[in-house]
Structure formats: C-alpha cells, structure tokens
Amino acid sequence: MFAAAIKTGIRIGLALLLLILIPIHHTGEAASPGVNARAAILMEQESGRVLFGKKEHEKMRIASITKIMTAILAIESGKMDEKVKVSERATYAEGSSIYLKKGEKILMEDLVYGLMLRSGNDAAVAIAEHVGGSVEGFAFMMNEKAMELGMENSYFSNPHGLDDSEHHYSTAYDMALLTRYAMNNSEYRKIAGTDTHRAPQEGEKWDRIWKNKNKLLRMYKYTTGGKTGFTSLAKRTLVSTAAKEDMELIAVTLNDGDDWNDHMNLYEWGFKEYDLVSIIEKGTIEGLENKFYKNKVEAARTFAYPLSEDERELVRNDITLIKPPEKGKWKNPPSHVGNVTVLLEDQPIGTMPLYMKGTYREMDEETFWKTVKEVVTKFFIITVPYG
C-alpha cells in the first residue's frame, strides 16, 4: 500500500511538472512595439510566455513556414540517415526548388537542410512520401502532431505551404508553439541555425551548396534560426529565433512586407523590457515553518520566467504539502510531497512538484511522458504561504 502511494506521488509530481511546459498567456504591461505585419507574436522559449501579440490567433495562410512542421516530423521519424529515392511528383513541385532529379537517391538529412535553408518544395514532397508513404499520408501526420502540440487553429494540407488548398492555415501563436517545440530538438536547432550546407549529388562530381534564405542569420547577431515564407496569397511570412545571454525568444510575423526589420525591432524590445528571472532555485526550499518539513524539501529544477522590472515585486509563491503523519513519521515516506505554484499578480504562471530532500531521481524522457499521460490522482494537502 505504501509502495503504491510512493509511486502515485512521483507520478503526480511528474504530471504537475508538465505545467511548466505549457505556454502562459499572461502578458506584460511594457509599452508594445509597432509592427507592420497583419499578425505577429513574440514568445519566450523556456516559459512560453507571450510578450507581444497582434492578431496572434487569427487564421491565415502561412506559406513556407509550414516546413518547420515538415522538418521536425522528418527528424523525429528516425530516418535521417536513410537514402530517399526522388519521385516524379517531387520533381514537379512548383515554386522554390533544390532541383532534385527523378530517380536520384539523396540522404534524408540533406533533404531537410535543402527544405529549411533553400525552402525546396521538391524536398518537402520527397520527405513527405518517404516518411508518410504519400503527401496525403504525411499531411495526416502533420495534423496529428498539431493536435498533440495544442495548435488549435491550424490545419495542414501539404508539406510545403503552397496555395494549393483553401484548408491550409495556421496562426502566429500556433507557429510559435510549433517553433518552441522544434527548438527543443538539438538536430532541428542545428539545421535551422545553419548558414551554409554542402550536400553530395548522386552522379555528379560537384556538391550542391545551399545558403540559408533567412537573412537574419547575417543581419542580426543574436539570431539562432528560423524559416522564411512567401506565396502570392500569403505574402511574406517569417519565423525566427534569437538568444541573448540566458533568454531565448521566438518571433512570428504573417503577411509582413517589412519582416526583417519587424523581427529585429521585436527582439530589441523584448531583450530590453524583460529579463529571465529565476524565481525558484533548484535545491532546498527555504522559509518553510512546518517543523516536519523545515530544510527537508527541495525543488528538482529551477523555475525561470521573463519579467519586466515592475513585475518583479508582483511575484509570489504558494506551496502545498501533503499533511504529515499524525505520529510525525512515515513508515515508507513518499518522494513527492507537494507542489509550489508561482503567481504573478495572483495569476498562476507555473507549477512545480516538491520532493523530500534526496529522494528525487531523474527519469528518461520516454518514461517521463508515459508517466505524465497515465496520472490522474488526488492528494490530501496542507497549504503553506511562501515568498
């Protein structure tokens, strides 16, 4: 019975830890920057906090920033080291191209570089057919992934973003969600931030050499990646990422004739107005008055959140702990003993589990997510004001 209680406690802790990963909609009071885009967003990577938004939930055509979804699905397929045979359908893809030839074999990894750096629509089709069995099958996978990520106002009909369907759209917010997820993948992060890539060409003595169309990599020193887009109906679309010191930001603009400048202005504003503040430090939780828990409870990781200067005084922490045993001692003490909720102006911005000191043990990612999905349980708790 006690062993089951321990497992339940750990599972609840992991489920609550998931809340840290969910984007927070609380927006700051800092004066907003102006942008030319019809829709735009600036999001902080670690917390998912929206620092700036303009029609960020409006459904719009997105053009080639669609390929962020295509790239992450290709990477997650486990087929990056496989050779892909190019079909006739791929070679007939309209618009931007890496000039694939029917029947040639090319490494999946090189296709993803061609997709992201040169926006190859032929690469998008070749990837879709190899990973999804067909373009249509891959589109199904794209929509499944969108649902998984909480992209509630998105629908994908193709892997490239061409205007071949009325039912292919997203929002600035959803594309920021997708990019935030993708940037947690080291392989995607590397590809998206690459300026130039060289790929061998079957049957030729020379390599294909691709330079990234994302000019921000050369225009703005803090840029770490992104994806450009354009069609006659969507107009210019752009996703980019930037990092300065310990803060990473994501910018998305849709239908924007001045996107390079808008992204740089958004970043300059965000880095000036906000700092990533460590609200809860990994380790022992100080200030607990309860004798049973004093100096015996710890956080397994640091909780950081972007705050403006004025907001720092508006943050407080509320801690809830399992009611201690009446005799003051557990026969088989649980690991997870409570949670800390961080509030900004009394609005929750994150929740983390708390553990008895020395009992927390890291779990691999697969086990972590499997456990999170399985958990729905209740705790008897006591409330402890803190912070």
**Catalytic positions, please?**
64, 67, 119
- Which residue is listed with tokens 């600035």? 172
Q: How many angstroms separate the CA atoms of 356 and 202, rounded?
A: 59
